[in-house]
Structure 1
Amino acid sequence: MDDTEPAWRYLRTQREAVLWKVEGLSERDLRMPRTPTGTNLLGLVKHLAGCEAEYFGACLGRPWPEPFAFWADDAQDNDDMWATADESPEQVLDTYRRVIAFADETVAPLALDTPAHVPWWRTPETTVGVLLVHMAVETARHLGHLDILREQADGSRGLRDGISNLPDGDEQWWSDYVATLRDLAERSPG
């Protein structure tokens, strides 16, 4: 497959942004749950590694050679959404990078209409093209979570390195902007 294929290109761009969102943070900040459901930066990366390993591995007849513990039948709910004490940030990020390389190696020689099989989907027979779109959307969805969690962790914000995609306001501008939104919300009914 040509690497200029839009779905593959979008997925690659999203992956780069995922790695940028966790760059430079302390282990504490990477692990810190920042929502009532425990969502954390490192867990999102671990989850995305598992998703890519499944979709671009077993679903294409080339299983990821290092099965994740959270794939086991006796795994606890949400085991893929956080890193254990034995899983360092470096290990999780390295695994994500290796899964990406594995996925790209698997997908590269395939045409978009190459058959794929996703046993947990209601209609399991699909194609590589659909898997690429699915993973690009899945990654973008979790990249949105990463955006917010990173901003909560240290104030860093923006689309990706060198492209903020946000107004170029200073901290006072942002403070005033948020105050305006807060005031509007407070004056809203209900």
Structure 2
Amino acid sequence: MTSDTPSLQLAGYWLPVPGWSLSASASSALNAPGRVLLATVELSRGWTLSDSWQMQIGVVRYSYPGNRSNRLFNRDEASIGWSYRDRLSVSVAAFELPGSYRGRWYGAADLTVHQPLPAQLSLSAGIGISQAPSALYGLDHYRYGHAGLMWNAGAWSVEVDRVFSDARSIYARRGNGIWPWVATLSRAF
């Protein structure tokens, strides 16, 4: 939902006991330091089902501070997902948009695959579909996805993705360019 400008994101995770995670993140446009574009808070619980399968449930709050039209996209979400050997992930979610459609819940589902390659590289691709209020997204449902390449070396990772969506949000209709490429450089501490 953000415009075509580089942004900086800071994320932190707390793992109080095995299986539980509490995380928070915030992002800011590099051309407007200090102005938060998106803030999230998530609580999740994961289980190992077998040597190959894991399951995770979570609740997350996405907050888009700033002007009123951005706040329309604030989102409360509950999800459940399964992953197979870090190669295949499937998830379903239910979400509410409290700033615009309080009490109305929408559904979403997605599928992501990762294929390891030589030289610490891997391919990543995903597809999904989501219900949405047509007044905000231009459709009563939309499709989305990505395809990209990842490189990992110890605490460092680099990812370049081409993202797509057929949603026509009010944000995009206002003439703000939405950049279809996402490049991420991250370091774990």
More strand by share: 2
TM-score (norm 1): 0.21
Larger Rg computed on CA atoms = 1
More helix by share: 1
Higher relative contact order (CA 8 A, sep 6+): 1
TM-score (norm 2): 0.21
